Every structure is written in structure tokens, then in C-alpha cells.
């Protein structure tokens, strides 16, 4: 198939980013046992941030290598600006990668639209914002048959709370304070923005630990870190939060799917481990990292050296990719 110079360049970028991203993601998946052991030696907040970064790393590395090596090599060495034949496999791969990215970006845009609509509906039903608990993050108290608690929104996030939980007979003062601090921690860390960004980025969704993918591990760590921020080292607050989780597990529902929010109530499968961590009241500080960190860093350095050493191969790679098939 004969393609113009701009279309050939677009195909090269799409195929390069797609293949490199899959390759990097497979490498991280293969190294997941070591990575998870290393992350087990750091604090919950650092672990949460690392798990989030690991999901964006394959895309970032793929774009960086493509923009730094393959595209400049092709632009510098290509002398034919007229239409030129391109392999059918290259065209197919470029179309698949483009469709993959388009689907994820559309999913992200759909999440933004649904979040804005849900937020407006909540504010309209509540008739404004309430300063419950004196927190900086606003609270929207809404009537409803099924109780709910969640941090909702992106630009101006608010804590969504059902009226039954803040009225007489609902949560006690300490329980309400700790729950709101938990959601405020999500707001301070921008967890809804992180959720949106992960929704927009194509990922393979590989399982890495006990049937869980990187996304589930990140969400669990984000909840644990928010719990830790809310209770600190106060055992009374930790027990109050654990008791609230158990009490609300069967009555509080999660917010609508497809909305950028962090729900207070987690899945039943994760409830036990979350409550156990609170009852144990583990300290916030992580253990000192051992030599495994040095090993991981060393592997990354070796990978960079290999890439630089293969610069001669990279000169031929653009043309090889364009003529696949």
C-alpha cells in the first residue's frame, strides 16, 4: 500500500509506540514478583504512588523512545517525500493501535461527561454545599434510599454523603469525622484524576498477584493510604474506622459506574484485609529498603545502556517497521 510521507510517519509512530508499550508492560509484568517485594518495604503512600506510576511507565517509555530515537532517525534519513509502499502488517498494526487509543480516550471523555452530570445532579438535589465536619473539601448531603459515601468530581471534587448517615441515628461524631478525613485524603492526593488518567491510557490489564492487576493493587493501596491518613497512629480512630467499614458494608452502595469517584466502601473481597490492617494499626513508616532496590535500579541502568548500544540497529528499525508484511 502506497502512503504519503505524513501517513508513513504516523504509521511509524503508532506501530512503534504500540509495540514498545506492550514490550515494556510485559517486562514489568515479568518483574512483578521482585517489584511487589520491593514495594512491600515502603510506606503505603509511596507504594500507592509507585503502583500508579508503574501503569503509566510503559506508555511514557514507549513515547520517549519513539520521540527520541525512531522518529528523528526516520526524519533524518528519509529522502523520498513522495508516496511509498508500506507493508500491510504495518498498516494493520497502526490501525489497531490507533483504535486502541481512541477507545480509551473516548472512555475517559465519557467518564468526564458522566462525572460532570452526576456532580451537577447531586448539587441540585442537595441545594448547595454543607460544611460538615469543618473540612476544606465541600460536602454534599443528598437524600436517597440507599446510603452512599464517596469523593466525586475532578476540578471541584466534593464528598457525597447520604443524609441518613449524617442525621440523628446515623454515624457517630468520631466515625463521621474519620470517614470524611478518609475522603479528604483522596482529594488531597488527586486520586480521582489518577483514576481518570488510567482510564484514558491503553493497558493490557495483566494479572500480577493473586488474580489482581496493577489497577486493583493501586486502588487497594490508595484506600489503605487514605485510611492511614485518616487515623494516623491513633488506635481509637483506627478502630472507629474499622467498625464503620463493617457496619456499612452491607448497607452503603457504591456510586454509579463510569463516574470519577473514590468510594468509601470497597469490594467484599478486600474488606477483610482492609479491616485487619486497621485493627493491627500498623505504623505509617516503611521498612528500610534492602538490596533488591539496588538490583532493580541496576537492571534499569543496564536497559538504558543496551538501548544506547543498539543505536546502530535503531537506524534501520524505522524502515523495517514500515515494511512489515
Q: What is the SS3 assignment for 147-178?
A: CEEEEECCCCCEEEEEHHHHCCCCCCHHHHHH
- Sign of the CA dihedral 216, 221, 222, 228? positive
- Beta 139-142 vs 158-162: how paired, if at all? parallel
Q: What is the pLDDT of residue 70?
A: 86
Going 223 to 167 to 250 to 192, the CA torsion angle's sign is negative
10 Å CB burial of residue 114 (0-12, 13-18, 19+) is middle
- Tell me if 223 sits within 8 A of 275, measured CB to CB: no
Q: What is the extent of the structural domain holding 187?
A: 2-322
DSSP 325: -
- Cell for 148? 452512599
| Residues 228 and 284: beta-carbon distance below 8 Å | yes
Please give the span between the terminal C-alpha atoms of the chain, in angstroms, as a whole number: 11
Choose among 120, 142, 121: nearest CA to 130.
142
212 bridge partner residues: 209
Q: How far apart are CA 325 and CA 313, in angstroms?
A: 19
The pLDDT of residue 309: 52
Measured torsion, CA atoms of residues 245, 251, 255, 260, in degrees rounded to the nearest 10: 0
β-pairing, 149-152 vs 261-263, is: antiparallel
pLDDT per 10-residue tile (average), the chain, 325 residues: 86 92 92 89 91 93 89 83 84 94 95 91 67 65 77 89 82 90 93 94 87 90 92 88 85 74 82 85 48 54 56 66 75
Q: Within 13 Å of residue 90, how many CA atoms lie on the same side as its CB?
A: 23
Instruction: Report pLDDT for 63.
Output: 93
Residues in Cβ contact with 187 at an 8 Å cutoff, skipping those fewer than 6 apart: 137, 151, 157, 159
Q: What confidence score (pLDDT) does residue 300 get?
A: 57
Query: 248: Cβ–Cβ under 8 A, 6 or more apart, which residues?
Result: 147, 149, 264, 265
Quote the CA–CA distance of 28 and 8 in Å, as a whole number: 30
Please state the separation of Cα 255 from the chain's center in Å.
18
pLDDT of residue 93: 92
Grid cell listed for 250:
452491607
Q: Measured between alpha carbons, how far is 266 from 108 in angstroms, rounded to an integer?
A: 22
Q: Name the percent of the chain in helix, strand, coil, to the closest 5.
A: 65, 10, 25
Query: How many other C-beta atoms lie within 10 A of the C-beta of residue 281?
Result: 17
Residue 48 confidence (pLDDT): 94
The single residue listed with the C-alpha cell 464503620 is 244
How many structural domains compose the chain?
A: 1
Amino acid at each position: 500500500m502506497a502512503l504519503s510521507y505524513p501517513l508513513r510517519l504516523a504509521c511509524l509512530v503508532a506501530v512503534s509506540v504500540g509495540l514498545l508499550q506492550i514490550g515494556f508492560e510485559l517486562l514489568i509484568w515479568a518483574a512483578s514478583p521482585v517489584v511487589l517485594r520491593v514495594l512491600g518495604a515502603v510506606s503505603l503512600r509511596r507504594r500507592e504512588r509507585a503502583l500508579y506510576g508503574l501503569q503509566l511507565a510503559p506508555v511514557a517509555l514507549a513515547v520517549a523512545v519513539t520521540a527520541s530515537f525512531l522518529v528523528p532517525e526516520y526524519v533524518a534519513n528519509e529522502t523520498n517525500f513522495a508516496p511509498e509502499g508500506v507493508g500491510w502488517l504495518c498498516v494493520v498494526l497502526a490501525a489497531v493501535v490507533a483504535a486502541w487509543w481512541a477507545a480509551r480516550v473516548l472512555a475517559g471523555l465519557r467518564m468526564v461527561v458522566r462525572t460532570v452530570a452526576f456532580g451537577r445532579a447531586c448539587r441540585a438535589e442537595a441545594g448547595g454545599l454543607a460544611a460538615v465536619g469543618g473540612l476544606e473539601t465541600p460536602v454534599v448531603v443528598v437524600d436517597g434510599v440507599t446510603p452512599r459515601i464517596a469523593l466525586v468530581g475532578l476540578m471541584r471534587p466534593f464528598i457525597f454523603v447520604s443524609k441518613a448517615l449524617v442525621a440523628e441515628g446515623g454515624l457517630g461524631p468520631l466515625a463521621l469525622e474519620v470517614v470524611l478525613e478518609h475522603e479528604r485524603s483522596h482529594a488531597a492526593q488527586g486520586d480521582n484524576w489518577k483514576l481518570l488518567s488510567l482510564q484514558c491510557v491503553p493497558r493490557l490489564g495483566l494479572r500480577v498477584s493473586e488474580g489482581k492487576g496493577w489497577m486493583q493493587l493501586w486502588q487497594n493501596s490508595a484506600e489503605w493510604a487514605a485510611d492511614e491518613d485518616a487515623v494516623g497512629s491513633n488506635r481509637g480512630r483506627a478502630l472507629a474506622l474499622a467498625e464503620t467499614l463493617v457496619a456499612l458494608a452491607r448497607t452503603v452502595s457504591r456510586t454509579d459506574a463510569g463516574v470519577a469517584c473514590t468510594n468509601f466502601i470497597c469490594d467484599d473481597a478486600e474488606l477483610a484485609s482492609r479491616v485487619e490492617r486497621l485493627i493491627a494499626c500498623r505504623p505509617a513508616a516503611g521498612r528500610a529498603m534492602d538490596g533488591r532496590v539496588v538490583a532493580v535500579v541496576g537492571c534499569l541502568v543496564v536497559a538504558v545502556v543496551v538501548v544506547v548500544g543498539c543505536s546502530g540497529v535503531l537506524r534501520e528499525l524505522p524502515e523495517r517497521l514500515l515494511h512489515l508484511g
